Amino acid sequence: MSLLEVKNLQVAYGGIQAVRGVDFHINQGELVTLIGANGAGKTTTLKTLIGMVKPSGGSITYDGKLNGTIASHDYVRHGLVMVPEGRGIFGKLTVEENLQMGAYYRNDQAAIQSEIERVYELFPRLKERFKQLAGTLSGGEQQMVAMGRAMLSKPKLLLLDEPSMGLAPIIVEKIFEIIQMIAKEGVTMLLVEQNAKLALEVSQRGYVMESGRITMSGPARELLDDERVRNAYLGE
């Protein structure tokens, strides 16, 4: 069974139809990417998955539960965790305090501490800066904090919105290495990216979204080779 099953999803902001009947699914253990131009409806789709935006039609089944059955403040506890575009970190808290915030609903202090150490192994830069206020970090370091904090929530399904946004190419590579490491640890992921090439290279499957609709889908390798994808999204 799929961990996530989305059927005929529709979302409207007033009169603007941002998502127009979208179907997709994510199997347990998969890394799936959703690519598309600015304004295609990708962020809206992610926000709808975690209950931040209410759909006007269709259904979302996560881990066997239909949308509406999990309260929006309860998604993290159910393992559905989003790292938003722009990171959403707490600038006035330290790196370590931000990581601890990811575990706010947990009581297993010993496990939390060992997972923080694990995050520091993945991101040695964060270990060096654990007492620094997160707001004073570079963009790449802030992305690392946001991903580390999400890991502390023990995600079953991790939603990453534009993790490479605004980062230097060398940092983007690092972030993508980490995405692959997280995937190897068995976390299922949905990756939304403008950097379609890198996203498809690390993913098993992909979906292309255009003007609120899914227009192409398939194994990531096939999409990478697809003429239309190459012209529209890979700058070829």
Separation between Cα atoms, residue 18 and residue 76, nearest integer Å: 25
The encoded tokens of residue 212 equal 């609120």
Site string for ligand ATP, 124-143 (x = CB under 6 A): --------------------
* Number of residues in contact with ligand ATP under rule CB under 6 A: 11
Tell me the closest approach of the beta carbon of residue 192 to ligand ATP, in angstroms: 7
* Interior/surface letters 54-67, b for 16+ CB within 10 angstroms, e for the rest: ebeebebbbeeeeb
Stretch that binds ligand ATP, among 35-43, 145-153, 182-190, 196-204 (CB under 6 A): 35-43
- Does 13 participate in binding ligand ATP (rule CB under 6 A)? yes
Tell me the closest approach of the beta carbon of residue 151 to ligand ATP, in angstroms: 23
Beta-strand pair 65-66/57-62 = antiparallel
- Does 107 participate in binding ligand ATP (rule CB under 6 A)? no
Stretch that binds ligand ATP, among 11-19, 58-66, 104-112, 127-135 (CB under 6 A): 11-19
Task: Order the strands of the 16-27 sheet from edge to edge.
Answer: 16-27, 2-13, 57-62, 65-66
Stretch that binds ligand ATP, among 23-31, 40-48, 144-152, 175-183 (CB under 6 A): 40-48
Tell me the closest approach of the beta carbon of residue 12 to ligand ATP, in angstroms: 9
Q: Of 4, 18, 22, 175, which lies in the binding site for ligand ATP, with binding defined by CB under 6 A?
A: 18
- Does 16 participate in binding ligand ATP (rule CB under 6 A)? yes
* Interior/surface letters 105-116, b for 16+ CB within 10 angstroms, e for the rest: eeeeeeebeebb
Handedness of CA 165, 228, 8, 80 (dihedral sign): negative
- Does 33 participate in binding ligand ATP (rule CB under 6 A)? no
Rounded to 5 degrees, φ, ψ at 13 are -105, 100
Rounded to 5 degrees, φ, ψ at 174 are -60, -45
Tell me the closest approach of the beta carbon of residue 14 to ligand ATP, in angstroms: 7
Contact 190/29 with Cβ under 8 angstroms? no
Tell me the closest approach of the beta carbon of residue 108 to ligand ATP, in angstroms: 35
* Beta strand segments in the chain, E: 2-13, 16-27, 31-36, 57-62, 65-66, 80-83, 157-161, 188-193, 205-210, 213-219
Q: By C-beta, is 41 or 55 nearer to ligand ATP? A: 41
Q: By C-beta, is 44 or 153 nearer to ligand ATP? A: 44
- Does 84 participate in binding ligand ATP (rule CB under 6 A)? no
Token pair 């006035």 in the structure block, residue: 92
Applying CB under 6 A, which residues contact ligand ATP?
13, 16, 18, 36, 38-44
